[in-house]
Structure 1
Amino acid sequence: MNNHLLRETAAVALSLLDLTDLTDDCTDQRIEVLCARAQTPFGNSAAICIWPRFVAHARGILGAGHPVRIATVVNFPGGDMEIADVAAETREAIADGADEIDLVIPYHALIAGNEKAVTDMVKAVRAECVAPVILKTILETGELKEPALIRRASELAIDAGADFIKTSTGKVAVNATLEAADIMLRTIRERGRNVGFKAAGGIGSVSDAALYLRLAETIMAPDWPMPSTFRFGASRVLDDILAVLNGGPSSSASAGY
């Protein structure tokens, strides 16, 4: 990739980035750093993605209507909570100022053959996410493994009202892959609804990001990736984006959360 195209890709990736801190030892101080890092000299990331307990603190820093959106996770990371508890977690996060909810579907139940568990969970959380709140559903594709199951999870989430389908929590052995992304993007296209895609976990460089962008442009349309339809969930990739935008090369090393 030539330098001009690399910098162009870096700028796009920045605008699509959900800058993430879902580490177990996260603190208020790290949220303050994350909010600052999301606002760069080259533009803002699309969102920050944080634990629910930090949403109110982040909203206090960013203020109402800030262009950097606040995303948080529910039913995270295992996907095994009761629907009522996840709905309550969602309500509290939205009350605290969350703009976007990233919901882990009950993927263990789906692996066991219980499709209704996925539909019921997504519909219940969808009911809490009144516009303009966005609902992203995390499929945990690395655990689903089978292409047919990844496709079915995508279909169920889309049909139950998800605004985005997302690959991964970043908390398992296999996170975002181009193979899973291909299946998910093709399912979005086939379903015919205005649904976005988010790749999360394992994307550590602009070069990595370019592969996902190229795939989405091939399957959907050249101008399809934008913040309303495409996101990257990552923590370390911002360093590579800024290095490229400052005139340096893209790292070839991938890094996850």
Structure 2
Amino acid sequence: MESHDMRETAARALSLLDLTNLKDDCTPEAIEALCARAHTAFGSTAAICIWPRFVAQARALLGQGSAVRIATVVNFPSGDLDIDTVVAETRQAVADGADDIDLVIPYRALMQGDEAAVTAMVAAVREACPAPLVLKTILETGELKDVSLIRRASELAIAAGADFIKTSTGKVAVNATLEAADIMLQAIRDSRGKVGFKPAGGISTVAEAALYLRLADTIMGEDWVMPSTFRFGASGLLDDVLGILSGAKPLAQASGY
């Protein structure tokens, strides 16, 4: 990749980034640092993605109407909670100031053939976070594994009202893969709806991000990717982005192709 293209891709990735801290030992101090890091000399990330217990703190730090959105997670990471509990989690997060809700679908139920569980969960959470709130559904593709199951999970989530479909929690052995991205992007294309895509978990370099962007450009068209249709869920990617944009990282080292 040419140095100009690498910088362009880094800038693009920055604008699409949901800067994430979902560590089990996350602290209020870490959230303060995350909010500060979301604003860079080269522009802001699209969002931060944090545990629900930190949403009110982040909203106070970022302020109302911030350019950086606040995403939080529900039914996370197991996907096993009952609908009433997840709806209550969602309503509390919205009251605390969340802009985006990242919902883990009941993927284990789906693996056992219970499609209705997915539809019911997504529809209930959709009702609890009406537009303009953004609902992203986490399919946990590394656990679903099967191509037809990933495709079906995508279709069910989209039909039940998801604004985005997202690959992974980042908490299992296999997270975002290009294979899963390909299946999910094709499901979005075939739905003909305004639905976004979020690969999450394990994307830590601009070179890796470029592969997902190229795939999305190929399947969806080169004018499709923007923050309203595409996000990266990542914690380490920002370091590589800033290294490239600041010139601190040699581009020959960064290109990794």
The TM-score normalised by the length of structure 1 is 0.97
Name the residue aligned to 1:13: 13
Deviation at 1:132, TM superposition (A): 1.2
Change (3 A) 1:213 1:94: same
1:1-257 pair list within 5 angstroms:
1-247=1-247, 248=249, 249=251, 251=254
CA contact (8 A) 2:6 2:255 kept: no
* Corresponding residue SS for 1:173: coil
CA contact (8 A) 1:205 1:252 kept: no
State the alpha-carbon separation in 2 of the partners of residues 222 and 191 from structure 1: 18
Over aligned residue pairs, what C-alpha RMSD do you find?
A: 0.9
Opposite residue 78 of structure 2, the aligned amino acid is: G
Deviation at 1:246, TM superposition (A): 1.1
* Corresponding residue SS for 1:59: helix
State the alpha-carbon separation in 2 of the partners of residues 168 and 59 from structure 1: 25
Question: Deviation digits for residues 97-137 of structure 1, max 9, x if unmatched?
Answer: 00000000000000000000000000000001112110000
State the alpha-carbon separation in 2 of the partners of residues 212 and 13 from structure 1: 10
State the alpha-carbon separation in 1 of the partners of residues 141 and 51 from structure 2: 21
Unaligned runs of 5+ in 1: none
State the alpha-carbon separation in 1 of the partners of residues 8 and 223 from structure 2: 14
- Determine what percentage of the aligned residue pairs are the same residue: 71
Unaligned runs of 5+ in 2: none
Deviation at 1:35, TM superposition (A): 0.3
* Corresponding residue SS for 1:142: helix
CA contact (8 A) 2:244 2:254 kept: no
* Corresponding residue SS for 2:130: coil
Deviation at 1:251, TM superposition (A): 4.2
Deviation at 1:252, TM superposition (A): 6.9
The TM-score normalised by the length of structure 2 is 0.97
State the alpha-carbon separation in 2 of the partners of residues 101 and 52 from structure 1: 10
